[in-house]
Structure formats: structure tokens, C-alpha cells
Amino acid sequence: MDFELTQEQEAMKRMVKQFTRLEIAPYAAEWDEKGEFSRATFNYMSELGLAGMSIPEEYGGTELDNLTIALVLEEIAQGCAATATYLAVHNMVAGVIHKFGTVEQKLKWLPVMGSGKKLGAFCLTEPNAGSDAAGIQTTARAEGDYYVINGSKIYITSGGEAEVYVVVVKTGGKKKSAAISTFIVEKGTPGFTFGKTERKMGLNASPNRELVFQDCRIPKENILGSPGQGFKIAMTALESGRINIGSIAVGLAQAALDTAVQYAKERRQFGRPIAGFQGIQFMMADMATDIEAARGLVQRAAFLLDRRKYARTMVAMAKKFATDAAMRITTDAVQIMGGCGYIKEYPVERYMRAAKVLQILEGTNQIQRLIIAKDLLGW
Amino acid sequence: MKILVLMKQTFDTETKISLDANGKIDEAGVNFVVNPYCEFAVEEALRIKERLGAGEVTVLSVGPERAETSIRQCLAMGADKGVLVNTGGLEGGDEFTTAQIVAKAIEKVEYDIILAGFQAVDDGSAQVAPRVAELLGIPQVTVITKLELEDGKAIATREIDDGVEIIEVALPAIFTAQQGLAEPRYPSMKGIMQAKKKPMERYSLADLGLDAGLVGTDGAKVKIVELSLPTPRKGGKIVEGEPAEAAQKVVQLLRSEAKVI
């Protein structure tokens, strides 16, 4: 048992921390305000290898384990949770192509995704299917050398900006989950268009957009994995995705606490810094403890997943606990800072708005509880 | 072209320095980084190599074992080779003794040009590289912001009061970097992973034929008698009221309380 990071992990954390401090954090508020996705920032991150963390070396990546990716995302989320989120999704998409793709698919997509030339998006949610992932209604039917896709997807992270879309659709079959397949669809494919970009409460540097498929013909070789394997692929993607979201929650909470602590030491009321009051001290102590607990849980879940152990329950616990903690901690940070917490001069209101969606995406925290309970009950 | 960079590991400038029970700087909880001025030197070395399309960048550091992480950081940026002279346990050295160690270690390295930070952000003495140049008997140009190389010579721009000085010098020579020479790159993830596989030569003082006594307390020309932290600044005083009235009060206070006028 060893909780020490390796020298490499330390070096990566150090680099990403510095990069976040200088290249991300100063712009995060403006991106959020304007709803701006910064492709230049994604390109810069790609140059440094952050777009190829799930891609093996022979395809130009660094293939890091889930634990190391969690460390990286936690650092980026301290500057901008939205940037960390689309980067996480991109790496997750590259990861499933690496895991389930054919050699031809890997050769075609992985090098360009690792270099950042093509951004990835994962497309599962539909107007009538979110938590009930198996209930999707977008279909693909085989037609000669093609599949023809019809339907729509909503809330897709990087929708419109991304070039590579891994789309989960129904291909028919008796069992509900076995009837699902996964396809790689390129931006620009005829019949594939974008609907409205959502206006959101937060996380605005990462766009979420509707995708529309209207008799969209894609070559048969674009199926990812085998027909009927889509549900498994989606669940595999979500497992690493949930660790990513957990680590983003930890980073976000850490940033909120750091801001609140600094503020509490400087803000004077009743003749002394408010940090001198036990009421504030107790809040900060609870926040710090929750962050460490969340970090420990996320890292342990990543550790288990990296060892190909059964990790689904632990991953669900980590995602639920870390994101619930981030919601509490960012809310408390706003509370500690009072009026300054609520206004946009300070970053904590942005943190609080971002934290909310982390309890929802990549499987709501209610779904995570169901996963945990199912395991408990043996059902 | 063989480029040698002299690098010092220093405290992170954001570190809060404290003293331990023996009055020495407490290293617990301190973050150690590549001295920022040395980072400019490393970056310039990498750019020279990239411009020429060939060459080798070696990073040499004198310090305790922990200095390895900073050498690896330079290797992650793209340097080819590290040299660590491990002085762990050595006490009482100064710029004079450090320069002797560096000069001795350089005997083990091939070079056409040497780059270094013009000063370290910890003690800010700006002495080691110039001393090394003297010991090696080669020219030095300090505090440079630009460096151009031609056949066997270099043209360096250095900062002076109220302007710049442009100096032509024969190689080999030592150049020390000022901010502005080259904005350092971030090490890439791939660079970080490759760094651990890059060669690192290690020497002890004995390996270099140096007597630990003579490059430590006994050899040092400067002895540190005592270290103390700066006295914390007291909060200022704000004089309120109408501007004319307040100004009068300030003058009064400067005379009676601060006793500076």
C-alpha cells in the first residue's frame, strides 16, 4: 500500500498546475460569461499531450492510467471546470476508440485526436433517454455498405465544435441493451446537422448542443465494436467518465476552498479577520475534510479501474460523493464570502454554478445511488 | 553544437520561508523548482539546437539529491542529458566553492557554449557563472536578452543601465540569461515520460577529486553568521477627513510620529 505519487505523476501535476494558472484560470471567467469555447486553448493543451492521454504511444499519445488522468483533470478544473470537462470527454472518446476500435479505425482517428486536430464528443443522451440509457430511440439500419442513422441527441458536450462523434444508437434486436450499437460519425457527413446550442446555468466554456441525424449514411466500417456491443461500450466509457467528473469536482471544490480561505484571512469584521471566528473555521475544516475524502475515493476508484478490477460500485460512490461534496463546498465558499461570493468579481459563484451540473451529467447522482444499492442488495 | 546549461534548483518563489530550531531555512513543505533564470537558459539552449537542427543539450546541476527532479524537468522540456554533482550533506559552501565544483564537473562534459541563469531567485548573488568562466579561462557575457551564433563566435545583447550593449565574442564562452531571452516552454506529457529514460550522470565530490572540506565551510570565503526573517510590515495608518485637513495631519504625523521630516 503506497499513497505516494510517482516522480512522473508529480512532474505532470506540476506542469498542468502551472499551465492552468497561466493559460486557463485568467480567461475562465470571460469564457463563462461569453459562452466561449476556446479552440486555441484546446490546441495548446493538445501540443502538450493533454489530448492524447488515453491514446497509446504508437498512435502518438501517452496512454496514462485513469489515476494519472484524474490528477491532471483535477488541476485543470481548479482553473476552469468547463475546460476540464470537454478535455475529459475528448480523452474518454479517444479511449473507447482505442479500446474497441479496429486497427484501421485507430490509425484513422487516434493520431488526429491526440494531436488535437480533431476533437471528440460522446453522444448518448436523447430527449427521451438519459438515465435510462437503454431507452434510446435514435436508430441505425443497415443498407448495403452503409448504416443509415435517424434521430437526435441532446446536451452533447462539444457538439458543433467536435469533429469526431461517437454515437450510441439502436440497431434492433430482442434484448433492449443488446440492440444497441456505437458508431463513429464525422462532422460534415451529409444528413448530420446541429440543432440549438443550450443556454446554461454554468460550465459555459464547454458548449452543449443538439445533434440531428436525418437519413445520415455512414460507411459500415464506422461501427465501433460489433453490432449489439454499444451498451457495453457506453458503460465502459461512462466508467472512466465518472472518475473524470469526480476528479473535476475535487478540483473545483479545492479552488473554492482556496479562494474562501484567502478571503477569510483578509476580510475583517468586528475588528478582526473573519477567519478568526470559529463559525468560519468549522466550515472551512469540514470543507477541507470533504475534499480529502472525495479525492481519496476518486483516486481509489481510479486505482481499482486501472487494475481491471470490478470497480463500478466504487466508481459510482466516487462520482456521487465528490460531486455532492463539490456542490456543498462551493455553496459554502459563496456563504463565507457573503456578497463577494455572490458577485462575478470573484470566481466562487461560477464554481457553484459549475458544481451543480456535475451532480447531473455522466449519470445523475440518483443513478449512482441505484448502482450502489444494486450491488448492496445483490440484485 | 554541444550546449551546456548550468542549472540551480531553488525554492518556488511562492514558498513562504521559515527558519527551523537551528536558525536554518526549514525545507519541510518547501517546493523546489528550476531557478526561473536558468529556465530561460534551458529554453534558449533548446531553441539553438532546434534552429541548427542538430546538437546536444546537457544540463548540469550542483546540489543535493533532490536537484534530480529539476534536472528531469529540464530533460522533460527537451534537454538530452543530465549531470548531477551530489553535494548532499555538504555544509557552508559559498559562490566561490560552488564555482570550483562546477568548474571541476565541467571537465567531464564536452561543450561549445555554456548558458546559465544570470542569478538565482533565492540568494540572488549572480556570481557562480562568472566565476566559472574565470576558472575555465573563457569569456563571459552576462545578463543577455538575445543571442546569435555564427561560425565560432556569438553576438549577444546584454542589458545595461539605460540601454543595451551588443557584444561579439569568440566561442566557447559563458552567457547568463536575463528575462526576455527566451520564454520557457511547458514540458509536454511525452517529454515528461521520456525524461526518466534520458541519461543522467552522477558524481560525488570524491568522484571529482574534490575535498569536501575545501569546498565546504573551510574553503568558503563567505560565512553565514545568522539568518533572520524580515520583520513583518505593520499595518499602515489611514488619515481620514477633508483632503486639506488630512494633508495637514499627515505632515504633522510624519514629523511627530514617524520623525522623517
With pLDDT > 70 as the criterion, what percentage of chain B qualifies? 100
Amino acid at A191: G
Residue-level pLDDT at A177: 67
Q: Which of A5, A6, A8 to mutate: most B Cβ within 10 Å?
A: A8
Is position B211 within any domain?
no
Amino acid at A283: M
Please indicate whether, in this complex, the C-beta atoms of B69 and A11 are within 8 angstroms of each other: yes
State CA A292 to chain mean position distance: 20
Do B36 and B116 sit in the same domain of this protein? yes
Residue-level pLDDT at B237: 80
Residues of B in contact with A68 (CB under 8 A): none
Please indicate whether, in this complex, the C-beta atoms of B192 and A19 are within 8 angstroms of each other: no
Burial of A120 (C-beta count, 10 Å sphere; 0-12/13-18/19+): buried
The residue of chain A with its CA nearest to that of B196 is: A8
Q: What is the pLDDT of residues B157-172, one digit of tens each?
A: 999 999 999 999 999 9
Do B246 and B199 sit in the same domain of this protein? no
pLDDT at B213 over 80: yes
**CA of A184 vs chain B CAs: smallest distance (Å):** 27
Do B199 and B240 sit in the same domain of this protein? no
H or E stretch at A259 = helix A230-266
Separation CA A351–CA B7 (nearest Å): 39
CB-based contact B6:B111 (threshold 8 Å): no
Is position B217 within any domain?
no
CB-based contact A59:A94 (threshold 8 Å): no
Please indicate whether, in this complex, the C-beta atoms of A19 and B187 are within 8 angstroms of each other: no
Compare CB distances from B187 to A15, A52, A62 and report the shortest one's residue. Answer: A15
What is the pTM for the complete model shown? 0.91
Is position B180 within any domain?
yes
Find the largest Cα–Cα distance for chain B: 73
Is position B210 within any domain?
no
Do B152 and B256 sit in the same domain of this protein? no
Domains and CATH numbers, chain A: 7-119 (1.10.540.10), 121-229 (2.40.110.10), 232-377 (1.20.140.10)
When divided into structural domains, chain B yields a total of 2
Prior bond to A26 cis, omega within 30?
Answer: no
- For A152, A165, A195, A230, B193, the CA distances from A191, given in Å and listed in that order, are 11, 14, 12, 22, 42
Residue-level pLDDT at B196: 93
Is position B198 within any domain?
yes
Residues 6+ apart with CB under 8 A from A152: A126, A127, A138, A195, A210, A211, A212, A213
Give the confidence band of B91 by pLDDT, cuts at 50, 70, 90: confident
Do B155 and B35 sit in the same domain of this protein? yes
Please indicate whether, in this complex, the C-beta atoms of A49 and B196 are within 8 angstroms of each other: no
DSSP per residue over A33-59, as a string? HHT---HHHHHHHHHTTTT-TTS-GGG
CATH number of the domain to which B101 belongs: 3.40.50.620
Residues 6+ apart with CB under 8 A from A145: A219, A220
Q: What is the pLDDT of residues A15-31, one digit of tens each?
A: 999 999 999 999 999 99
The residue of chain B with its CA nearest to that of A60 is: B190
- For A261, A285, A328, the CA distances from A282, given in Å and listed in that order, are 12, 5, 14
Please indicate whether, in this complex, the C-beta atoms of B186 and A50 are within 8 angstroms of each other: no
Give the residue from A31, A37, A76, A35 showing the smallest Cα distance to A53: A76
**CA of A271 vs chain B CAs: smallest distance (Å):** 13
Cell of A297: 475515493
Compare CB distances from B189 to A7, A14, A48 and report the shortest one's residue. Answer: A48
Is position B105 within any domain?
yes
State how beta strands A164-170 and A180-186 pair. antiparallel
Residues of B in contact with A48 (CB under 8 A): 186, 188-189
* pLDDT tens per residue across all 379 residues of chain A: 789 999 999 999 999 999 999 999 999 999 999 999 999 999 999 999 999 999 999 999 999 999 999 999 999 999 999 999 999 999 999 999 999 999 999 999 999 999 999 999 999 999 999 888 888 999 999 999 999 999 999 999 999 999 999 999 999 866 766 799 999 999 999 999 999 999 999 999 999 999 999 999 999 999 999 999 999 999 999 999 999 999 999 999 999 999 999 999 999 999 999 999 999 999 999 999 999 999 999 999 999 999 987 899 999 999 999 999 999 999 999 999 999 999 999 999 999 999 999 999 999 999 999 999 999 999 8
- For A108, A113, A162, the CA distances from A90, given in Å and listed in that order, are 16, 8, 9
CB burial of A308-339 (b: ≥16 within 10 Å; e: otherwise) equals eeebbbbbbbbbbbbbbbbbbbbbbbbebbee
DSSP per residue over A272-329, as a string? EEGGGSHHHHHHHHHHHHHHHHHHHHHHHHHHHHHTT---HHHHHHHHHHHHHHHHHH
Q: What is the pLDDT of residues B191-202, one digit of tens each?
A: 999 999 999 999
The residue of chain A with its CA nearest to that of B73 is: A11
Is position B222 within any domain?
no
Do B107 and B151 sit in the same domain of this protein? yes
- Which range of residues forms the domain containing residue B256? 233-261
Has A221 been annotated as catalytic? no
Do B96 and B153 sit in the same domain of this protein? yes
